Amino acid sequence: MYIERHGHAGGLAAFLDSLQESGRYSLTRDEAAACLSLGDDALTKAAQRLVARRRLVVPRRGFWVIVPLEYRRAGAPPPDWYIADLMAHCGCRYYVGLLSAAALHGAAHQQPQEFQVVTDMQQRPAVAGRGRIRFFRKAALSAVPVSDVRTETGSMRVSTPEATALDLLRYLDAAGHVHHVASVLSELAEAMDPDRLLDAARLEQNVPNAQRLGFLLDLVGAGDMGAPLAEWVAERRPRYLALRPNRPLDRAVKDPRWRILVNASVEADD
């Protein structure tokens, strides 16, 4: 850690350079204040100058992201470079999920326009340069299977392919329309395991999500992936429910395996 004391704006710039040289791209204002002899007003002005020069970006109050030269035009490095540190700063448990996790698992049919993160506390969106981070709250975060994925600056927590698939149905509005979810599942299924999918569903205990997910897996030709899940759903003897809750049930066709009322045609995007 760079700890030499400076009393001018150049001190903050040099401090950021030293952090970047050591592989760090994020820090808190408190860290900077502890390592530099700048007063509060001087530190604020120094940071503002570096923000104006696109050397620094502030996605959250008190949390700074260093912008390397190759990302000056974008305004910030990608969120996966600093998401773990940002969540630690906010005091949140988290995992990267939904479409962002699906892309990391190889289902990059359509790259998400935002970086999607699930947390145990309500968080407003964060913006750094061209990157936008959107947060989704889940109370039972500890029940979600996750893995550590290496990043350019360390690692981040990411929902497993199976937990990701269930979340796509849980947060359907954020995942896009059902057609889009079907398209993502057609690729994501290649990274999934039937037994791990069953384990994830048991942990979540959301039978309607499991029903809709199973139906869509059948639809995209991955019905074998849902075989253990179908047995688990059948044991719970759930009621029939609409595939699209906001659509009328006129002429809906019953799918007996998943007890789904198919009230909309679904086609995976090419």
pLDDT tens digits, 110-159: 677 899 999 999 999 999 999 999 999 999 899 999 999 999 999 999 99
> 183 pLDDT band (50/70/90 cuts)?
very high
DSSP characters for 217-269?
A: HHHTT-GGGGHHHHHHHHHH-PPPEESSTTS--TTPEEETTTTEEE-S-----
The sheet with strand 260-262 has its strands ordered as 241-242, 260-262, 253-255
How far apart CA 41 and CA 164 sit, in angstroms, is: 45
pLDDT tens digits, 6-61: 433 458 999 999 999 999 999 999 999 999 988 899 999 999 999 999 999 999 99
Residue 9: its pLDDT value, please?
A: 41
Q: What is the DSSP letter of 82?
A: T
Q: Of 111, 198, 51, which Cα lies nearest the Cα of 213?
A: 198
Q: How far is CA 227 from the centre of its chain?
A: 27
Q: Domain segments of the chain: what residues?
A: 9-71, 79-262
List C-alpha distances in Å: 227 to 172, 218, 222, 256, 264: 23, 10, 10, 14, 23
Given its phi and psi angles, is residue 82 left (phi above 0), alpha (psi -120 to 50 degrees) or beta? Answer: alpha
Residue 270: its pLDDT value, please?
A: 59
The sheet with strand 63-66 has its strands ordered as 26-28, 63-66, 56-60
Structural domain 9-71, CATH architecture: Orthogonal Bundle (1.10)
